[in-house]
Structure 1
């Protein structure tokens, strides 16, 4: 399959470059390179404003399968979506704060939501005004989503939600949360009786958000406690009891074009590590040179694999992609610190009593990438998915729950 850009794609690239050059200025330009994994706390006010700037330009939701301008967004072919993602990543434009709403919620609503839900929730996302978070993982039910215990009980024209979610990215900034909760009778089988609810976060006394401090010293992730939080009955996506099907559908949308943009960011990190290795003399070591070459070659393989699977239809593609980049990024993090020798364990040199825990980019890469093989579905879970759903191997024996 040929994913090379054609004349229309190159014209689209020119428009994207022109728009970015015109708008990525001032405070927005100063925020370039900020807001990626491990740095999602950075320049939040500027990045929220940038999200609205993208919305005014129609650049949010270009991958949605809608009529042109139906929700205030441009439309684009698959290759044009790749072009936009690549141009955005090459400029290291500010890390997106609306990606959960754009890349996860919106495709899910388009696939499973009612027209009323689409009309209510998609335009604010396309304008860059509404920020979303994901209420999936719980203590004891992370990668194993069928084990969630959060309960939503019907109360007239609403549901009352009680329970706890954990590792909820940007919950402290989000306006809304999509929550996987149990609405079925007690004793229902693990995958049954689950529903997918859209919950407003501004419910003082009913929703509490507690930041989780990480190894990097930052707190992008949160615990979220629901104590009778309200969700309209009209805001159950796919209908009551269809939560497992909707939740699995959402996970299928999680990776795709964005993987290619992620790889461009990876390439920039790899280039930084290579420059540091040359500058500090570590590149004289043949083992280091071999590792750099292997990382470069594997990144190219990841790109071609991502392009190969963009058309969909491969049930194992998301799991394979996650396995590939998770381990790759961890190895890059280790090498980033190792090529600096003893200096890799030291601070950046501008320690102060007001800010005693400072990390440079390489140290943050090393520490944050420790989680790459866990969050978003652990490596063990990804291998099970590939074994059972793709290779048809016997399912792992599980005891009663």
Structure 2
């Protein structure tokens, strides 16, 4: 494909469309039945459909798993405008994601901002290719909303660091290859005593234990570190300077959670589901007027939300990074996703109550489990209460009253 440098978007669109039509595997046109089909990549990535790996490899070769990252680190080098064109063309063919990755959504952006050149060359290309699956070591049993209270110790042992402690709610830690982790390197200070390190989850002394959720899945884990040795070159940023990186990463996390809408729902269109299971009136509309009105209102809110996300992205570009406004978007995204999954289950009627068995299609089972899973949306990535506090202080400029 020619390098248009962002000057001719229509030419770029034509080339992107032609490439996607020639390279998107036809077998992936059906929506994913459940989370087990998600293309997380990593050492243990073994998709049920081999074409998922083929799609990942093809997109990674072009750098389009991280389309706006610099080409020297494996990215696509696209402008923001080109990326919007690419996204629209992917939506046009209803393409599945080639790669779902905490490395792309959270770690990569802060590495681009804070890592050494050697660290960028070492880690970023493998993130783009989906070779390494990452997890996030932030929350602890005594440090959730007050994350800066974390106590996982990281001691300087001369030629390496030694880590001891525990993390909790570590998403997919039992399936991840590496972790980006907040550790305490100075016990005399709170925020200024935290550092940001990367290490392999197969390192001796790392143990994970899945936490079962009401949805029946176990995406979260308790993670334990006992005398884990970490090479010093895997410290990102300055020693005791990890809190700045941590805050920046959380902004990227909330931005990407918001833009992605949390996913879920089993790939079911709630309007079509309601027409099939609730019925239609003589005008072809959903027969239940109340349900119809609530679905319409949700669709309008969702569209307004997406427009707001785009505006926030433009503002982030102007200010060279995400702002505290990501807390507004993350809060709204959680509410919208919970509403969407609840409406989907309601639209399915009795078919939305199936937990397992041949009487229910995979998408119907996934819809119910997604609705239950969505209850965590207002907790993960920063609780809704904490996000509202951030909005009050950082966006609205309100002060605490004594």
TM bracket, shorter-chain basis: 0.7 to 0.9
2:195–2:240: 8 Å Cα contact kept in structure 1? yes
1:38–1:216: 8 Å Cα contact kept in structure 2? no
Deviation string 1:286-336 (CA, Å, 9 cap, x unpaired) is 211110111011011111101111121473321111111110111112222
1:162–1:229: 8 Å Cα contact kept in structure 2? yes
Instruction: Tell me how far apart the structure 2 counterparts of residues 358 and 92 of structure 1 sit (CA, whole Å).
Output: 17
Instruction: Tell me how far apart the structure 2 counterparts of residues 16 and 143 of structure 1 sit (CA, whole Å).
Output: 43
1:98–1:131: 8 Å Cα contact kept in structure 2? no
Match of 2:390 among 380, 385, 391: 385
> Could you say which residue in structure 2 is the equivalent of 1:156?
158
2:101–2:130: 8 Å Cα contact kept in structure 1? no
- Structure 2: segments with no counterpart, 5+ residues: 1-5, 280-285
Distance 1:256 1:84, change over 3 A: farther
Instruction: Tell me how far apart the structure 2 counterparts of residues 148 and 241 of structure 1 sit (CA, whole Å).
Output: 13
Match of 2:353 among 345, 349, 352: 345
Shift of 1:195: 0.2
> Could you say which residue in structure 2 is the equivalent of 1:74?
76
Map 1:232-247 → 2, pairs under 5 A: 232-247=231-246
Instruction: Tell me how far apart the structure 1 counterparts of residues 264 and 92 of structure 2 sit (CA, whole Å).
Output: 11
> Could you say which residue in structure 2 is the equivalent of 1:33?
32
* SS, match of residue 304 in structure 2: helix
Deviation string 1:330-376 (CA, Å, 9 cap, x unpaired) is 11122222223344323464179xxxx99623212211111111111
Deviation string 1:259-295 (CA, Å, 9 cap, x unpaired) is 54x25968996x7111111112263222111101110
> Could you say which residue in structure 1 is the equivalent of 2:283?
none
Residues paired across the two proteins, number: 379
> Could you say which residue in structure 2 is the equivalent of 1:286?
289
2:134–2:179: 8 Å Cα contact kept in structure 1? yes
* SS, match of residue 70 in structure 1: helix
Shift of 1:37: 9.8
Indicate the larger mover: 327-336 or 248-257. Answer: 248-257
> Could you say which residue in structure 2 is the equivalent of 1:19?
19
1:253 and 2:258 correspond: no
Distance 1:368 1:108, change over 3 A: same
Instruction: Tell me how far apart the structure 2 counterparts of residues 264 and 358 of structure 1 sit (CA, whole Å).
Output: 17
* SS, match of residue 381 in structure 1: helix
Match of 2:139 among 113, 116, 137: 137
Instruction: Tell me how far apart the structure 1 counterparts of residues 76 and 184 of structure 2 sit (CA, whole Å).
Output: 37
> Could you say which residue in structure 1 is the equivalent of 2:334?
326
Indicate the larger mover: 214-223 or 8-17. Answer: 8-17
Instruction: Tell me how far apart the structure 2 counterparts of residues 160 and 141 of structure 1 sit (CA, whole Å).
Output: 20
1:196–1:238: 8 Å Cα contact kept in structure 2? yes
Distance 1:96 1:176, change over 3 A: farther
Indicate the larger mover: 302-311 or 51-60. Answer: 51-60
Shift of 1:82: 2.6
Deviation string 1:100-154 (CA, Å, 9 cap, x unpaired) is 1122111111111111211221122223222211111222322332121111111
Map 1:97-112 → 2, pairs under 5 A: 97-112=99-114
1:126 and 2:131 correspond: no
1:303 and 2:302 correspond: no
> Could you say which residue in structure 2 is the equivalent of 1:230?
229
Instruction: Tell me how far apart the structure 1 counterparts of residues 196 and 237 of structure 2 sit (CA, whole Å).
Output: 8
Deviation string 1:219-251 (CA, Å, 9 cap, x unpaired) is 222221111112211221111100100111112
Instruction: Tell me how far apart the structure 2 counterparts of residues 21 and 258 of structure 1 sit (CA, whole Å).
Output: 28
* SS, match of residue 397 in structure 2: coil
> Could you say which residue in structure 1 is the equivalent of 2:185?
183
1:62–1:76: 8 Å Cα contact kept in structure 2? yes
1:210 and 2:209 correspond: yes
1:113 and 2:121 correspond: no
> Could you say which residue in structure 2 is the equivalent of 1:369?
374
Distance 1:123 1:344, change over 3 A: closer
